């Protein structure tokens, strides 16, 4: 259930404490569902845990997000709401700050406290976590640094796992006019619509919205770029380690029309049977909705999602939100024609199961020899290192280059990057390359929260630079600005990108992985 609204007297006391040293932008604003009260700290005004949709519980489990019930009085917006229901992942680089729950569809807003700052660019963050983990509450996702650069920053929660992506025959028959299956994507679209309706009262410009995300969040940006239902809701996009050819999770359908894979509905039936629920009618659906949140999670998280038999579909081609792969949409021009930043880390994520180099290079088909020459020119590289490079390039780095090339070929501004910097404290431990998601605290300039007393001046300098590029892009569609190394627009003929280098320097140059990426691209044709 939504948190109870405090009495006006309690809210007044909270506001008095929070505004004693606050700048004059009002800490209370009226959005379309009621008045919310935020708090100012260090020149930044924050509103947290603001509902953008009704709690998706009871009969609203596996329904598109519904409107918020308006409230009277003043609703405190001083703390994060619950992150969405999940089993937290041990060792998560961005640990949750709240206990997960189904009542989770809330947004957070940061803006400069200065009253003169109006009609500001807006950035909307979409977290990663493989569509089974993640939330908006982790400390490294604070929007305060972006606000200090003159941006209105928004984050929000979206449903995960079987709450966010689920098919079942009775669901397809229920409310036939509604979209089905991809409820997490529906939440993302609902949040962007909330931004369009409400961001002006926070000082933001609804006509200058940048969406950005990492990993599953980056994949979500690809979905929003290519979804007919997201048209006009944003004006720029940034993809961090989100691939660019497919959805990262594969593609299932609601109907059983894929010859070699079970449909999302078939997996839903399998999940129901595992919980003693037979049949595919409305009564079976009611029993599924009566399961506890923990029973629906059923142990699913980043550590278990790839196990056989877990009966989880993930994002799917539903025919309304997701109608085709990003690759198909980008090649055809059926996508939002907006400026793009896209890239990955130097030791990014990738999965390869080959038992030998011969098997690995055979998977490149006619490009087998080209791949061997690119990834193992001397023939002496360890199998593990070659598999890691192939996996990284196939899953993250080459698809990012592909997307940038397609945008650039259609005359759109596209900027590519590689994040190769490793924090000094990790480098001292022998960390090899920038791992998946390691750029996030630099982009947000929250490295002090991430590394604490181990933070070095070089770490902080890289963070200031990354944060400045991202904020500049949100303002103008061009990341360049005073005091920053030049970041050229991407062009396939020159293949230049911006590298946040291992030594802490930042600069543009030809992609050193070009031969590898060309081999991956040749095999993808």
- Cβ atoms of 462 and 417 within 8 Å: the answer is no
Q: Are 192 and 124 in contact (CB under 8 A)?
A: yes
Read off the DSSP letter of residue 115. Answer: T
H or E stretch covering 393: none
Q: Mind listing the pLDDT tens digit for each residue in 337-351?
A: 999 999 999 999 999
Q: What average pLDDT does the segment 122-132 reach?
A: 97
Q: Where is 43: in which H helix or E strand?
A: none
* pLDDT exceeds 50 at position 6: no
Residues 185, 227: contact at Cβ < 8 Å? yes
The answer to whether the Cα torsion of 262, 264, 270, 271 is positive or negative is positive
3-state class of 180 per DSSP?
coil
Asked if 39 and 45 count as a contact pair (C-beta separation under 8 A), the reply is: yes
Alpha-carbon Rg for the chain, nearest whole angstrom, is 23
Under DSSP, is residue 53 helix (H, G, I), strand (E, B) or coil?
coil
Please say if the pLDDT value at position 2 is more than 60: no
Set out the domains of the chain in order of their start, with CATH numbers: 8-84+100-240 (3.40.50.1820), 252-297 (no CATH), 339-395+413-524 (no CATH)
Residue 261 pLDDT exceeds 80: no
Instruction: Collapse the DSSP code of 172 into the 3-class scheme (helix H, G, I; strand E, B; otherwise coil) and give the result.
Output: helix
**CB burial class (10 A; 0-12, 13-18, 19+) of residue 26?**
middle
**Distance in angstroms (rounded) separating the CA atoms of residues 327 and 319:** 16
- Please, what's the largest Cα pairwise distance for the chain? 74
Q: Which two tokens stand for residue 113?
A: 């406290």
pLDDT at 259: 46
Which two tokens mark 92? 């998560």
pLDDT number for residue 486: 98
Cβ 396 vs Cβ 516: under 8 Å: no
**pTM (2 d.p.):** 0.94
DSSP 8-state symbol, 392: H
Strand residue runs (E) in 157-277: 204-214, 236-240, 252-253
pLDDT in tens, 49-98: 999 999 999 999 999 999 999 999 999 999 999 999 999 988 888 999 99
Residues 6+ apart with CB under 8 A from 246: 325, 326, 327, 399
Is pLDDT at 8 greater than 80 in this prediction? no
Choose the weakest-confidence range: 83-92, 118-127, 396-405: 83-92
**Would you say 462 and 442 are in contact if contact means Cβ atoms under 8 Å apart?**
yes
Query: Alpha-carbon distance 312 to 163, whole Å?
Result: 10
H or E stretch including 358?
A: helix 357-362
pLDDT at 18: 42
Place of tokens 């604490």: 452
At 421-431, the pLDDT tens digits run: 999 999 888 77
Percent of the chain with pLDDT over 90: 87
Task: State the average pLDDT over residues 353-376.
Answer: 97
Other beta carbons within 10 angstroms of residue 150's beta carbon come to 16
């Amino acid at each position: 259930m939504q948190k109870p609204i405090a009495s006006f007297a309690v809210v007044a006391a909270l506001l008095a404490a929070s505004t004693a040293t606050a700048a004059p932008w009002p800490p209370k604003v009226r959005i379309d569902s009621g008045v919310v009260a935020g708090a100012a700290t260090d020149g930044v005004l924050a509103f947290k845990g603001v509902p953008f949709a009704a709690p998706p519980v009871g009969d609203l489990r596996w329904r598109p997000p519904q409107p918020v019930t308006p409230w009277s009085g003043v609703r405190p917006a001083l703390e994060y709401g619950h992150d969405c229901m999940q089993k937290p992942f041990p060792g998560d680089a961005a640990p949750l700050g709240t206990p997960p729950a189904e009542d989770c569809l809330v947004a957070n807003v940061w803006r400069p406290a200065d009253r003169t700052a109006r009609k500001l660019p807006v950035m909307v963050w979409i977290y990663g976590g493989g569509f089974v983990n993640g939330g908006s509450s982790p400390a490294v996702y604070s929007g305060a640094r972006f606000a200090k650069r003159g941006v209105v920053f928004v984050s929000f929660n979206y449903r995960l796992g079987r709450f966010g992506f689920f098919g079942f025959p009775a669901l397809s028959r229920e409310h036939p006019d509604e979209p089905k299956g991809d409820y997490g994507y529906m939440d993302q679209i609902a949040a962007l619509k909330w931004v369009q309706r409400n961001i002006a009262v926070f000082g933001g410009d609804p006509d200058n919205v940048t969406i950005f995300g990492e990993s599953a969040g980056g994949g979500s940006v690809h979905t929003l770029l290519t979804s007919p239902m997201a048209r006009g809701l944003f004006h720029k996009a940034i993809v961090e380690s989100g691939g660019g050819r497919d959805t990262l999770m594969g593609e299932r359908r609601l109907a059983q029309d894929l010859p070699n894979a079970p449909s999302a509905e078939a997996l839903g039936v399998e999940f129901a049977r595992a919980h003693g629920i037979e049949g595919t009618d409305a009564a079976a659906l009611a029993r599924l909705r009566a399961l506890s949140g923990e029973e629906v999670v059923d142990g699913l998280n980043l550590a278990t999602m790839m196990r056989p038999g877990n009966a989880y579909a993930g994002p799917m081609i539903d025919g309304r939100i997701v109608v085709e792969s990003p690759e198909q949409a980008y090649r055809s021009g059926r996508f939002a024609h907006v400026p793009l930043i896209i890239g990955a880390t130097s030791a990014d994520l990738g999965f390869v199961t080959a038992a030998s180099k011969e098997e690995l290079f055979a998977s490149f088909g006619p490009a087998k020899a080209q791949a061997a020459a690119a990834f193992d020119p001397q023939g002496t590289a360890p199998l593990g290192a070659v598999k890691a490079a192939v996996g990284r390039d196939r899953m993250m780095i080459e698809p990012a280059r592909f997307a940038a090339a397609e945008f650039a070929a259609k005359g759109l501004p596209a900027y590519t990057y590689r994040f190769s910097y490793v924090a000094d404290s990790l480098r001292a431990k022998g960390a090899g390359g920038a791992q998946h998601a390691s750029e996030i605290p630099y982009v947000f300039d929250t490295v002090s929260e991430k590394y604490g007393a181990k933070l070095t001046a070089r770490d902080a300098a890289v963070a200031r630079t990354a944060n400045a590029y991202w904020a500049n892009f949100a303002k103008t569609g061009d990341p360049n600005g005073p005091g920053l190394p030049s970041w050229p627009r991407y062009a396939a003929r020159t293949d230049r990108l911006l590298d946040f280098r291992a030594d802490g320097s930042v600069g543009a140059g030809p992609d050193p992985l070009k031969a590898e990426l060309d081999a991956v691209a040749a095999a993808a044709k």
